[in-house]
Amino acid sequence: MAGVLAALGVLLAISVVLAPAAGAHPLGNATVNHYDGLGLFPDRVSVRAVEDIAELPTLQRAPEIDSNGDGALSGAERAGYAAAQCRAHAASARILVAGQRLALTVAGSDYTERPGVIGLKVGRLVCQLGAPAELSRAGTLSVDDQWDSGGIGWHEITPVGHGVLLQNSPFPAASVSDELLRYPNNLLSSPLDVHSGSMQVRPGDAAGSTYRKARTLSRATLPVRALNDLANQFNALVGRKHLTVGVGLLAVLLSMLLGAGHAFLPGHGKTIMAAYLVGRRGRRRDVVTVGATVTLTHTAGVLILGALISVTAAFAPAAAEQDLAIVSGLLVAAVGAGLLISALRRRRRPIVLVEEVQNSAVALDAPDHLLVGAAGTIAEPVAATATSTNTAIRMAIRTGTGTGSPNASGAAG
């Protein structure tokens, strides 16, 4: 076994060397992430809006961007898509000064793509928006950005004053993600989700502004990051259009190895499965059955989602993830309720105790005896006779709520 693992480790190292340089989106390949950087001036407001689009949403938007359908994005196609998206953003963003909504216009737009995993692309849209505003006197500024926010992902807002003093800003002054370029956490466990907020503004030195403290996010541990990097390299290797039989077999072996390592990471319902097995007093074959079931359903779910994304651009993986999260929560609640009901039933079920009492001095001559349980429950009369070794078998029925040792009392029938 050790030799097999060593061989797989060598093969994995070879695959990392051979794989092209490409990285999966750090927040998951189904996310659409947003950043709004506000610049507040005495006579205007500027907005730098950035949208970071992971591999799957970028793939689904490809027909919309590639207007002539030739499979390649020209500069004109990227520019046209960026301008249209930025106009939509300007129309939907709500920035209010003293209760009056600002009329944002597009000052600049740009759309680019970089390599992602398995030959897919990661998109990045940048919009420069602006509007005249009267910030030369004290007032309230409110922000509410719900543009393209139906799915899951990162949402961040930062305001900075230029000759304008911000008081009690609910947003930090600096982006913790460097405008969606470097996320502080490569797991989608706790992304920022800030869409709106209000603050007091007045003319003055911006150095005296008060901001909300930037949120500190934990970073994934070294083993988790290393395994994710290896998985990305592996995906890039096997995602090529032309694979030989040898590389295909290697892909199967490495996928098993990486999958086993991935299963040891946090999540995957391991706590729920352990609680279920303990509650059911499961045996080894029950553990194998549960593990195999989780493996098959996990794999089948991934294949089904991949097929749906491939055959239709209307399928929204982000919305599917949200629906599946609700279903998963309901299943976990059902499993917990089932375990609780099972435990309560076991407590209420009568337990028959048999106690063998060695009694060499007293023989039981009475034909019938009434047995009294620990909780005082009288059982049916039973006949008891002493054996040749003067051993009496006494039976007591203890209810699920009773405590203490059962008592036996004899009475003539």
Which helix (H) or strand (E) segment holds residue 89: the answer is helix 75-92
Mean predicted lDDT score pLDDT of the chain: 74
Average pLDDT of the residues in 45-65: 92
Find tokens 């996010």 and name the residue.
217
Cβ atoms < 10 Å from Cβ of 152: 22
Residue 232 or 179, more confident: 179
- Quick check: pTM over 0.85? no
Which helix (H) or strand (E) segment holds residue 286: the answer is helix 284-311
In this prediction, what percent of the chain has a pLDDT beyond 90? 29
User: How confident is the model over 84-135, as pLDDT tens digits?
Assistant: 999 999 999 999 999 999 999 999 999 999 988 777 899 999 999 999 999 9
pLDDT confidence of residue 298: 74
Q: What is the domain partition of the chain in residue ranges?
A: 31-208, 267-347, 351-410
pLDDT confidence of residue 48: 97
Contact 168, 180 (CB under 8 A): no
pLDDT confidence of residue 355: 46
pLDDT band at 376 (very low <50, low <70, confident <90, very high): very low
| Nearest of 151, 148, 136, 118 to residue 22 by alpha carbon | 118
| Nearest of 105, 108, 114 to residue 82 by alpha carbon | 108
User: How confident is the model over 208-217, as pLDDT tens digits?
Assistant: 889 887 655 5
For residue 33, pLDDT beyond 50: yes
pLDDT confidence of residue 27: 79
Cα gap 295→301, rounded to integer Å: 10
Q: DSSP alpha helices (H): ranges in 239-280? A: 245-263, 270-279
pLDDT confidence of residue 103: 95
In this prediction, what percent of the chain has a pLDDT beyond 70? 61
